[in-house]
């Protein structure tokens, strides 16, 4: 299936609290309201890729409570035949969003932590060499999935989010690409400066590319031994949850179509900016035509 994006990823029930300011350690604050929305980095990125025009297949695990997320994916055209919703406890996330649009998130992976090798193996049985595989760090079996994908000669992009101690030790040699935000780049490389981190991470991939997203600052990328810079878009940020997922899913969809990485990053960058203007993670993801309009308006 040339041009298909296969996603092994998380589904989370996002309990979203809008607050004036994110609480400090030890502080209690009252939220203006609470909403339950579909989320999870895997689901968000799969939906973003599908909205960007890619053919997307998804493998993940949730519980009965999380079936609405599967429905949201299917409504956006994602093939959800390999999603299990039989787990006793669906993964969820406590998401706090303050008035500036910034957020803080705590995830309870639960069902995502019980994704099994057999499920992933069955899912990837229909992936052809050269197909794109997209993974994040919210599910079980990440290391095994990367090894399996390398043996199957898939082009694997890892969004190393959230970054944790286990991830710092993960072999990145076989990846086609690594995409992280500034904090994750710092955690993985030990370098606070994103450009220094980018160079250090690039040294850990044999042939692949590295992209570090900089939020409103755009992105930097290491491609074929060179650093490329991409300016951000100025938008009124209402809610930054899911912006990184919009970037990653849209970028990977463009790569699956055969676009060069610089163009794919431009598309991802525009999608991230558009997602910041709407509330929620999955519900904020832009369509392909919205991305085209934003990029087109810059050219006029």
3-state DSSP call for residue 61?
strand
Structure-token pair, residue 283? 């519900």
Distance, CA of 173 to CA of 204 (rounded, Å): 6
Answer yes or no whether residue 138 interacts with ligand RIB by CB under 6 A. yes
Name the residue with tokens 């994110």.
22
Stretch touching ligand RIB by CB under 6 A, among 7-15, 199-207, 224-232, 249-257: 7-15
Residue from 172, 176, 173, 174 nearest 184 by CA: 172
- Say how many residues touch ligand RIB, by CB under 6 A: 17
Judged by CB under 6 A, the residue of 4, 5, 8, 39 near ligand RIB is 39
- Residue 41 as a binder of ligand RIB (CB under 6 A): the answer is yes
CA dist., res. 133 & res. 152, Å (int): 11
Instruction: Figure out which of the listed residues 50, 241, 254, 294 binds ligand RIB, where binding follows CB under 6 A.
Output: 241
Report in angstroms how near the CB of residue 162 gets to ligand RIB at its nearest: 8
CA-based nearest residue to 100, from 34, 40, 22: 22
As a whole number of angstroms, the distance between CA 247 and CA 268 comes to 4
Contact 146, 175 (CB under 8 A): yes
Chain positions 70 to 99 lying near ligand RIB, rule: CB under 6 A, are: 93, 95
Choose, by CB under 6 A, the member of 110, 131, 239, 245 that binds ligand RIB.
245
Cβ-closest position to ligand RIB: 39
Tell me the pairing of strands 219-223 and 226-230. antiparallel
Nearer to ligand RIB, 37 or 202 (CB): 37
Q: How far is the CB of 184 from ligand RIB (least distance, A)?
A: 11
User: Does 215 sit near ligand RIB (CB under 6 A)?
Assistant: no
Place of tokens 């298909």: 4
107 binds ligand RIB (CB under 6 A): yes
- Shortest spacing between CB 275 and ligand RIB, in angstroms: 10
The residue whose two tokens read 């060499």 is 129
Nearer to ligand RIB, 63 or 244 (CB): 244
Strand partners, 200: none
| Type and span of the H or E element at 43 | helix 41-51
Identify the CA nearest to 161 among candidates 184, 144, 129, 142.
184
Residues 8-37 interacting with ligand RIB (rule: CB under 6 A): 10, 12, 14
* Residue 44 found at the interface with ligand RIB (CB under 6 A): yes
Report, in Å, the least distance between residue 138 CB and ligand RIB: 6
In this structure, the chain runs to a length of 300
Exactly one of 22, 74, 105, 108 binds ligand RIB (CB under 6 A); which one? 105
CB of 90 to ligand RIB, least distance (A): 11
Identify the residue among 7, 149, 210, 281 touching ligand RIB (CB under 6 A). 281
Q: Please say whether the beta carbons of 46 and 245 come within 8 A.
A: no
Residues that bind ligand RIB (CB under 6 A): 10, 12, 14, 39-41, 44, 93, 95, 105, 107, 138, 241-242, 244-245, 281
């Amino acid at each position: 299936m040339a041009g298909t994006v296969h996603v092994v990823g998380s589904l989370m029930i996002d309990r979203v609290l809008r607050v004036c300011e994110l609480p400090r350690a030890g502080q209690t604050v009252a939220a203006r309201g609470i909403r339950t929305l579909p989320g999870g980095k895997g689901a968000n990125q799969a939906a973003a890729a599908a909205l960007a025009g890619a053919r997307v297949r998804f493998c993940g695990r949730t519980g009965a409570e999380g079936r609405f997320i599967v429905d949201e994916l299917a409504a956006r055209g994602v093939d959800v035949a390999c999603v299990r919703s039989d787990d006793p406890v669906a993964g969820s996330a406590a998401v706090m969003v303050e008035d500036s649009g910034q957020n803080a998130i705590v995830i309870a992976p639960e069902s995502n932590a019980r994704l099994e090798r057999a499920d992933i193996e069955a899912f990837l049985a229909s992936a052809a060499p050269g197909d794109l595989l997209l993974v994040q760090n919210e599910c079980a079996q990440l290391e095994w999935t990367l090894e399996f994908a390398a043996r199957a000669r898939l082009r694997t992009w890892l969004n190393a989010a959230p970054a944790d101690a286990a991830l710092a030790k993960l072999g990145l040699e076989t990846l086609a690409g690594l995409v992280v935000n500034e904090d994750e780049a710092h955690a993985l490389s030990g370098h606070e400066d994103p450009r220094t981190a980018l160079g250090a991470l690039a040294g850990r991939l044999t042939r692949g590319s590295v992209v570090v997203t900089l939020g409103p600052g755009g992105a930097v990328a290491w491609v074929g031994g060179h650093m490329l810079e991409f300016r951000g878009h100025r938008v009124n940020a209402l809610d930054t949850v899911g912006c990184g997922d919009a970037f990653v899913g849209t970028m990977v969809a463009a790569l699956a179509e055969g676009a060069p990485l610089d163009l794919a990053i431009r598309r991802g960058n525009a999608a991230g900016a558009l997602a910041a203007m709407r509330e929620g993670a999955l519900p904020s993801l832009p369509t392909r035509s919205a991305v085209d309009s934003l990029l087109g308006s810059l050219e006029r």
